[in-house]
Amino acid sequence: MSRVRVLYFARARSLAGLPQEALPVVTGETIAAIRTRLVALHPEIAPLVGVCRFARNGEFARDDEAVGDGDEIAVLPPVSGGSDKALLVERDVAPGEAPRLIATDGAGAIATFTGIVRGTGDHSSEPVRYLDYEAYPPLAVREMARILGESRARFGLVDAAILHRTGRLVVGETAVDIAVSAPHRAEAFDGCRYVIDEVKTRVPIWKRETTTSGSEWVDCHP
């Protein structure tokens, strides 16, 4: 009997009640069929699974794509990026670390963005205790690198880099650090905004917010 390994992330893991499981498959079974079977196995996941993206062996997968023995299938909830310029790290990010990664020859401007953990929640005014960032690393790094490449091409940047934290962060710590260099300031500003906006919507990185009243996966709902 062929089997695949199913990985659950963020809210999908919470609803399924486990981080991963082995699932028997038959020849020709598709990602769409896997979706249906996961709902049958874990009814609580039904409201979410329809808007989840699936990945097969580290690449986004189409619903009509067939799976095979030994495949790794990742269930990726909606999200809110390899290369040496697109980095996932589980350590502190030092101030100004991203700018030190970029080339500046021919640049007339450098724009940066640093996202830090603030003391109040996204959906309430309750004090934040900490944030937990979770990622699907192979695809997250690849997608971040793709976004950096798009920003260079679209805005004529000299260079671009991003570091994104995973793991537990407390108030005041840096979650993401971005830097871009460009011939002129307008392109630098636009390119920097493009990178953070695309990362927030495309990259499989999720945020769990813990306040004084409990925890919730932020922007991981259908």
Give the pTM: 0.76
Does residue 131 sit in the same domain as residue 201?
Answer: yes
Does residue 55 sit in the same domain as residue 23?
Answer: yes
User: What is the model's pLDDT at position 218?
Assistant: 84
Does residue 28 sit in the same domain as residue 97?
Answer: no
* Pair 8, 18: CB distance under 8 Å: yes
User: What is the model's pLDDT at position 27?
Assistant: 84
Find, among 79, 18, 117, 46, the residue nearest to 205 by Cα.
Answer: 79
Does residue 94 sit in the same domain as residue 203?
Answer: yes
Give the rounded distance of the alpha carbon of 42 from its chain centre: 24
Q: Which CATH number fits the domain that encloses residue 53?
A: 3.10.20.30
User: What is the model's pLDDT at position 81?
Assistant: 38
User: Is residue 81 in a domain?
Assistant: no
User: What is the model's pLDDT at position 83?
Assistant: 60
Angle between helices 185-202 and 137-155 (to 10 degrees): 150
User: What is the model's pLDDT at position 148?
Assistant: 96
| Residues in CB range of 35: below 8 A, 6 or more apart | 49, 50, 52, 54, 63
User: What is the model's pLDDT at position 82?
Assistant: 46
Give me the number of domains the chain comprises: 2
Per-residue pLDDT tens, the chain, 222 aa: give them. 799 999 999 889 999 999 999 999 998 899 999 999 999 999 998 878 877 889 999 998 989 999 999 999 999 987 653 467 999 998 888 888 999 999 999 999 999 999 999 998 766 678 999 999 999 988 999 999 999 999 999 999 999 999 999 999 999 999 999 999 999 999 999 999 999 999 999 999 999 999 988 899 887 544
Does residue 159 sit in the same domain as residue 208?
Answer: yes
Domain that holds residue 39: 2-76
Q: Which CATH number fits the domain that encloses residue 140?
A: 3.90.1170.40
